[in-house]
Amino acid sequence: MKILKRTQFGDPILREVAAHVPVSKISSTQIQQLIANMKYTLLKKELGIGLAAPQIGQSLALAVVAIRKSQTRPQAEAFDLVLINPVITEAVGKRAQLWEGCISAGSYGKADLFAKVPRFKKIRIKYYDEHGRQHHKYYEGLPAHALQHEVDHLHGILFVDRVKDTRSYMTHKEYVKHIKNVI
Active site residues: 150
Longest dimension (CA), the chain: 49
SS (H, E, C) 87-154: EEEEEEEEEEEEEEECCCCCCCCCCCEEEEEEEEEEEEEEEECCCCCEEEEEEEHHHHHHHHHHHHHC
- Contact call for residues 135 and 87 (beta carbons, < 8 A): no
- Contact call for residues 168 and 123 (beta carbons, < 8 A): no
- Contact call for residues 34 and 58 (beta carbons, < 8 A): yes
